Chains A and B, each alone.
Chain A
Amino acid sequence: MLWASRSVRLLRPAAVICDGITRAVRGQTLLDDLHLVVGVGARLLIVSQPEESASLLLRVLAGLAHLRAGTVRLAGVTRADDSAAGWARRVGYVGPESGIYPWMSPREVLDLAARLAGLDSDERHRRIELAAETYRMGLQLDEPIRRGGPSLTQRTALAAAMLTDPEVLLLDEPLRAVEPTERTRLLAIPGRRRTVLIASRFPASEAGLVNQVALLRRGRLALHAPVRELDARGLTLSQRGIETLAALMAEGTPPAAAIG
Chain B
Amino acid sequence: MTRLRTLTGMALRELWISFRLIPVVGLPVIAGMGVTSLPPELAGVSAIGGASFWYAVGAGASISFAAALAASTIAHERRRGTMAWMSVRAVPRSAVLVSWFVAYGLLLAGGIALGAVGAWLAAVARAEAPIDPLPFVAAVMALACTALATLAAALCIGTLLGRWTAAIVALLGCAALLAASIGGPLAGMLLPTAGIGLLADLGSGARPLGDALRSGGAALGTAAGLLVVAAVVLERADL
A: which residues have CB within 8 A of B? 59, 62-66, 80-84, 86-88, 91-93, 95, 97-101, 103, 112-113, 115-117, 161
Given contacts A95-B81, A99-B81, 18 further A-B contacts (CB under 8 A): A62-B84, A63-B88, A64-B84, A80-B90, A84-B3, A84-B90, A88-B88, A93-B88, A98-B85, A100-B82, A101-B82, A103-B14, A103-B17, A115-B3, A115-B6, A116-B90, A117-B89, A117-B90
Question: Would B14 and A101 count as touching, CB distance under 8 A?
Answer: yes
Q: How far is the CA of A66 from the CA of B10 in the complex (A)?
A: 27
Against A, the Cβ 8 Å flags (1 = close, 0 = not) of B1-42 are 001001000100010010000000000000000000000000
Q: How far is the CA of A93 from the CA of B81 in the complex (A)?
A: 12
**Residue of A whose beta carbon sits closest to that of B2:** A115
Q: How far is the CA of A117 from the CA of B91 in the complex (A)?
A: 9
The answer to whether A82 and B90 touch (CB under 8 A), given A65-B238, A116-B6, is yes
Interface of B is mostly: helix
Most chain B beta-carbon neighbours within 10 Å: one of A59, A83, A86, A116 = A116
The 9 closest A-B pairs by CB, nearest first: A99-B81, A99-B85, A97-B81, A88-B90, A87-B90, A93-B88, A65-B238, A64-B239, A116-B89
- B residues 51-84 in Cβ contact with A at 8 Å: 80-84
Question: Would A92 and B88 count as touching, CB distance under 8 A?
Answer: yes
Question: Would B80 and A97 count as touching, CB distance under 8 A?
Answer: yes
Number of residues in B with C-beta < 8 Å to the partner? Answer: 21
Q: How far is the CA of A41 from the CA of B25 in the complex (A)?
A: 52
Return A147 CB to nearest CB of chain B, in Å: 14
**Residue of A whose beta carbon sits closest to that of B92:** A82
Interface of A is mostly: loop
B: which residues have CB within 8 A of A? 3, 6, 10, 14, 17, 80-92, 236, 238-239
**Residue of A whose beta carbon sits closest to that of B16:** A103
Q: How far is the CA of A97 from the CA of B236 in the complex (A)?
A: 21
**Residue of B whose beta carbon sits closest to that of A86:** B90
Q: How far is the CA of A97 from the CA of B88 in the complex (A)?
A: 13
Q: How far is the CA of A22 from the CA of B10 in the complex (A)?
A: 36
Return B67 CB to nearest CB of chain A, in Å: 23
Q: Which residues of A contact B83 (CB under 8 A)?
A: 99
Q: Which residues of B contact A83 (CB under 8 A)?
A: 90
Q: Which residues of B contact A65 (CB under 8 A)?
A: 238-239
Return A20 CB to nearest CB of chain B, in Å: 19
Q: Which residues of B contact A59 (CB under 8 A)?
A: 238-239
Return A50 CB to nearest CB of chain B, in Å: 17
Q: Which residues of A contact B10 (CB under 8 A)?
A: 101, 112
Which of B6, B80, B90, B92 sits near A99, CB closer than 8 Å? B80
Which of B6, B90, B238 sits near A64, CB closer than 8 Å? B238
The answer to whether A116 and B238 touch (CB under 8 A), given A64-B87, A99-B81, A99-B84, is no
Return B194 CB to nearest CB of chain A, in Å: 37
Q: Which residues of A contact B82 (CB under 8 A)?
A: 99-101
**Residue of A whose beta carbon sits closest to that of B88:** A93
Q: How far is the CA of A63 from the CA of B85 in the complex (A)?
A: 11
What are 29 A-B contacts defined by CB distance under 8 Å? A59-B238, A62-B84, A65-B239, A66-B238, A82-B92, A83-B90, A84-B3, A84-B89, A86-B90, A88-B88, A93-B84, A93-B88, A95-B84, A97-B81, A98-B81, A98-B85, A99-B81, A99-B83, A99-B85, A100-B85, A101-B10, A103-B17, A112-B10, A115-B3, A116-B6, A116-B86, A116-B90, A117-B90, A161-B88
